[in-house]
Chains A and B, each alone.
Chain A
Amino acid sequence: MKRNRIVILGGGTGGTLMANRLRRAYGWHEAQIVVVDRDDDHLYQPGLLFVPFGMAQIEDLVRPRAGQLRAGIDYRRQEATRVDTDTRTVYFADGTILHYDVLVIASGARLLPAATEGLTEAGPQERVFTFYTPEGAAGLRQALERFEGGRIVVNPVDLPVKCPVAPLEFCFLADAYFRGRHLRDRVRITYVTPLDAAFTRPVAAKALAGLLADKHIELVTDFATGEVDGAGGRLISYDGREERFDLAVVVPAHGGAAYVDRSPGLGDELGFVQVDRHTLQAKAAPEIFAIGDATDVPTSKAGSVAHFEGEAVVRNIRRFLAGQPLDGSFDGHANCFVETGFGKGLLIDFNYDTEPLPGHYPGPLGLPLLKESRLSHLGKRAFAWLYWHRVLPGRELPGITARMPRRGKAEPTQPRRP
């Protein structure tokens, strides 16, 4: 039997768990597994949310990439610049190339500050930050420490963004942070969203809007940010509205990796890989699969999704190499802990067809859904350990299945709109 070469582009959450699962699934003589990443620092991204509030330190969130990979996986530090799907070749920035029998695209999402006027102005920004990068999160920590009063706006400029609840969580934590410093009555916090509600799906949007109101966080909707005027302290929307700020926490627009754009047919307009949403096979070629934030599937860009997808992609690579039909059972399952401040959290669980609903997870006796609880906060904080020790090695999580459980969910009583 021929030894297949499986190349994985990206050694973050999805790439690492794929490599480890594939290494277990195939003997050494059956498959060579190569992981490529352009840097050696594996960052636990959910931890970035806590850095601005002094609840986590960057150095505790980073580990070496190679250390997360099982023995028998080749790790290369290179930057992919293009994929030729006809000749099954990846091109790298240093001029080298690599052939593959199966390609897994796990290169995540890229922040695109240049898509918004004002976000890349030369020089360090005094009043405009993001917590989506380690440097941004650390800078924001100092900015918050200095902040004695005024208006903070929190604004994801466009969708999709990684972990779409994270900007809301930032608001909740900022509320708790300034209460802790006895400054809350001097700080106005406003959540500015391009959506027509606090969240994309109606039941969760209502619950989250309720939490914002309880915490006296203002909500501005339908705001399509066209420009961030750091010097003047204004967010300006394309339709000419303005929101003034003393400190802006902005999440830049996201797109896929640049090499996807340079590989005709692979990505959509935003550079996300076009895949079948149930098999995760690329539309461009049968031997290409994608996982995690890099795909165009209509579910959250979240680590939990990459975890659930991992199971489906390994199964389908096995079937593909064995010449069998693929399994189309990936249902878009996402599961997110939303930190709400003061040691509480709220869990949401959903998939392509079922919006986040109240109830309990994974069954009637489980964690409350869409409702604040201490347990969900503990779940979020415990997730860091699970990430390094269960998710990345490609192991199952206790009590959590790839398919979204229906048991325990309060289905809406009204018939769903077609």
Chain B
Amino acid sequence: MPIHIYAGHSVVLDEDGYFTEPERWTEEMAPYLAAAEGITELTADHWQVIKVMRAEYHAKGSGPAVRALAKISGVPVKELYRLFPKGPAKVAAKIAGIPKPHSCI
């Protein structure tokens, strides 16, 4: 599995680009991870979502899917897509350094 260096720390990502060890994530890495997803600036709104992703991961073992993310964060789905155009749940999970959210079967 590929090893990447962000903010001077090496981390292991899975083949889809998600953290395999979320505990190695630090806030300083987020801007670099975001840049890799084409997001050049992390606003307060981005951070609010990133924090929700991490909190949910710690509480439930997985980041939420989009509709649940909107409910929990209070950020409407449309706005989430404006913040993370390539898909809020997946992209925010990558930037927040957590594994790929489980999709329901």
Q: A-side interface residues toward B, CB under 8 Å?
A: 115, 158-160, 164, 195, 200-201, 222, 224, 226, 238-239, 253, 268-270, 298-300, 334, 350, 417-418
Q: Do residues A226 and B81 form an inter-chain contact, with CB atoms below 8 A?
A: yes
| Shortest CB distance A270–B (Å) | 6
**A224-B87, A269-B67, A269-B72 known; A298 vs B104 contact (CB < 8 Å):** yes
Q: In whole angstroms, how far apart are the Cα atoms of A158 and B14 in the complex? A: 25
* A239 CB contact (under 8 Å) in B64, B65, B81, B104: B81
Interface residues contributed by chain B, number (CB under 8 Å): 20
Selected from B14, B78, B103, the residue in CB contact (under 8 A) with A226 is B78
B105 and A269: CB pair below 8 A?
no
A200 engages B104 (CB within 8 Å): yes
From known contacts A159-B103, A298-B102, A298-B105, infer whether A239 and B14 are also in contact, taking CB-CB under 8 Å. Answer: no
Is B105 within 8 A of A270, CB to CB?
Answer: no
Q: Are B81 and A238 in contact (CB under 8 A)?
A: yes
A253 contacts B67, C-beta separation under 8 Å? yes
Total A-B residue pairs with C-beta atoms closer than 8 Å? 49
Task: Output the least CB separation between A17 and chain B (Å).
Answer: 22
Find the B residue at minimum CB distance from A418.
B20
**A253-B67, A270-B68 given as contacts; is B81 within 8 A of A224 (CB)?**
yes
Chain A, Cβ-Cβ closest to B86: A239
Report the Cα distance A74→B92, complex, angstroms: 49
Q: Contacting A160 at CB < 8 Å: which of B14, B81, B86, B104? A: B104
Say whether B77 contacts A239, CB under 8 Å. no
Q: Nearest residue in A to B99 (C-beta to C-beta)?
A: A418
Contact of B78 among A159, A238, A268, A270 (CB under 8 A): A238
| A200 & B105 in contact (Cβ 8 Å cutoff) | yes
Distance from B100 Cβ to chain A, minimum over Cβ atoms (Å): 10
Q: How far, in Å, is B7 (CB) from chain A's closest CB?
A: 25
Q: A269 to B68, Cβ gap below 8 A?
A: yes
Q: Are B68 and A239 in contact (CB under 8 A)?
A: no
Given the complex of chains A and B, what is the CA–CA distance between A158 and B85 in angstroms?
Answer: 17
In the complex, the answer to whether A115 meets B67 with C-beta atoms within 8 Å is: yes
Cα A384 to Cα B88 in complex, Å, equals 40
Q: Which of B14-70 contact A (CB under 8 A)?
A: 14, 20, 64-68
